Structure 1
Amino acid sequence: MNYESHMLLWENTHAQVRQIQYVEKVNTDVEMILGHSAILIVIEGDMNLWLDEIPYHINRLAIFHIGKSAFMHLTMNKPSTYYLLYYKADVVYTDACIQHLHMEHRPFHKNFSCVPTNPIAIDLLMQNMYIKWKTGSFEEHLTVKILFYELIYRIFHELTEEQGKPHPIDLAAQALMYMEQHMDEAFTMQKLADSLTISSRHLLRVFKARYDMGPQQYLLQRRMEVAKQHLQKNEHTIKAIANHLGYEDEYYFSRAFKKQVGVAPSIYRTTIDTTPQFDSVLSEPLIGECKERVLQMKAQEKIRKQRVLQDIQSSFLQRLLHRTTTAMDKRS
């Protein structure tokens, strides 16, 4: 990301703070598509954040710029405190260069992050901004705008001077996503590590630290859970289920299933254990589920906007018809 270009665009930006939310010590999960650009400032706690398809695990003060129309999903691992600041901004075109940069970078639609070197200063800045915002007075809201620009300056100053760093992506969650997306393929842990551009040893370390098991063990358990679901439905042959889960050999799949579950898949199918068995890791929001929710929410938002537009058009036509009728009555 070209931070210098973004700073130049912000220098020519007219911004308006639309809302500041302060959420303190909560365990409530949040899921939404943002109607405005926003800045999320996590003060304390432990949470998982998904921005579109990118996962983060946050346990310290961190700042996230979230672009307009982005999908945000927050899950709390323990009570957390954060600010969510919504704003509306427009770039003032002073010349063709600014217009070109705006079209190229679209700064208010970008997702990026910063772990500041001076978290206390950011915390105090947000406290001051929120107190002034709550007053509702014009004078204090003018001060809020000044403080907002100071926040933007601090973020980009740290990133351009390489003092603050972007928040690292949650590699463990990314590995989990990869396995969910490629469960029907035969792949090695080395291939998984290569997809994340890390070593297999580092992959094992971060995944085990997060989920208390190695990625290979997780993949095996997950495949067996999916296999049990298919066996309970009794719609496919064991060979088809094995191929669907990345096993080329039905015999090898049956051995792995018996070792993990305790009985062969053919016997399991006859007993049909209807009790769902899901590992706690599976409660983690998966990328497929997130994508589906994004599409649903965007479709609902599109329908809502269409209805609003139809209402406006209908109201306009009614007023126009009324005026026309009134004018004709007067003439007659």
Structure 2
Amino acid sequence: MAYRDGNRALHKHGDIHALPHSPDLSVYVPMIGMNICAPTYKNIRKKSDITVLGYVVNGHGEIRVNSEKHRLGRGDAFILRKDSRHEVTALSDSSDPWTYYWYNLHGNSLPLLETFHLLHTPYIPNAGIEALFLKGFAAVKHKTEDGTDTQTALILSCTEIIFTLHKAVKQAAEYTSPIMGRMKLYLDQLVGETFHSEDFAHQMDLSFKQLNRIFKQHTGSTIYQYVLARKMDIARMMLQDTELPVGEIAIHLGYDDPQYFSNLFKQKTGMAPTLFRQHAKEIH
């Protein structure tokens, strides 16, 4: 059903569509909508159980995913990924309200983002994909009673959005910094292998020190931090979504020593892999 959200406590209003879903879908869209935000609007999810795809149609606002923060304006897209801290804040005044479309994705949305290398990309400037978001709103108007056809249309719409954002990110990286495009491509395909800085420098034809400096200028993190963050995110997904033993997950991620992997995982997440898996099952 569609309804107007005019709750003053939330400092926003706009059309929201709540949708039924089929229980056999591993990823589904429970809600889509448009937020027209007052200058005081702020929304915080401390550890979100959903992924949010958003597109700004007016005004300015700010998003934060964990410690990464971005200011957004008209035409920009954003991804607030599941299992992270989300903050969304309006920056425009009431004469130019921050307005954005959003889709909520429930279920196993992280593997979808990982497939298109968007797991660590919360902000895509000048995305120009308003028409793709509007496809979902059009689909809602023609939904069937059980919502199955609508869910299929919305999941396809989300996949098209994510694929288009992937292309935009890749093209932007290649245009603004060809070396960054090459580095990201190399590192994103490295998840199942051990990272060797010498091999990396040889492939890029620059010293590792130069590469690390360029990478940090563009991303805010070092190459090692980026590789490790990706491996840990994929480890979380595999622990939650598969029954593979911890040792096999370690090998899949390029760690020959399962104990070293377990210690590293605990250091980065605060939990041993087996405890993380148990905790994830209790939550879901």
Report TM bin, short chain. Answer: 0.3 to 0.5
TM-score (norm 2): 0.42
TM-score (norm 1): 0.37
Higher helix share: 1
Larger radius of gyration: 1
